[in-house]
Amino acid sequence: MTMDVVEIQKIIPHRYPFLLLDRVTDIVKNETLVGFKNVTIGDNVFQGHFPGHPIYPGVMILEGMAQAGGILAFKSMDDMTEEEAAKKVVYFMSIDNAKFRAPVKPGDRLEYRISVIKRKGSIWVLDGKAFVDDNLVSQAELKAMIVDK
């Protein structure tokens, strides 16, 4: 299952400049999601991070993982209609063991690989990894809850 940015925006509330997921290329419900963000020099964060030496901020990588995890959680809930989903939002409860292994620069394609560690009701624990050219650049464990808006 693939999703373009228009379909992504039907599920999560984020919009430019804070929508950090361009496409989802694969989803296995209750298991995994693969998606990506094309990092460009036009991204607003590069105005100040860092002039003359642009590095994509680690916090933005983590937020992109979180957005991808939110898509996985919503798409895994078979019993939820599109109308019901529109009344819900994913809140992240914690981000643990975050690591940054290599810098991400303009021109990179940041690939998110999210997998479910466990789910209990509306609470999800996810393993998030970010890659550039199949090299691990960041990882974290994410905990989230789906709640009413």
User: Which residues belong to the active site?
Assistant: 49
Q: Is the dihedral of CA 20, 59, 33, 86 positive or negative?
A: negative
Residue 110, both tokens? 């940041």
Q: In this structure, what token pair is assigned to residue 76?
A: 């895994």
Q: Do residues 73 and 90 make contact, with C-beta atoms less than 8 angstroms apart?
A: yes
Helix/strand number for the chain, H first, E second: 3, 6
Assess contact for 144 and 93: CB atoms under 8 A: yes
- The alpha carbon of 18 is separated from its chain's Cα centroid by a whole number of angstroms, namely 11
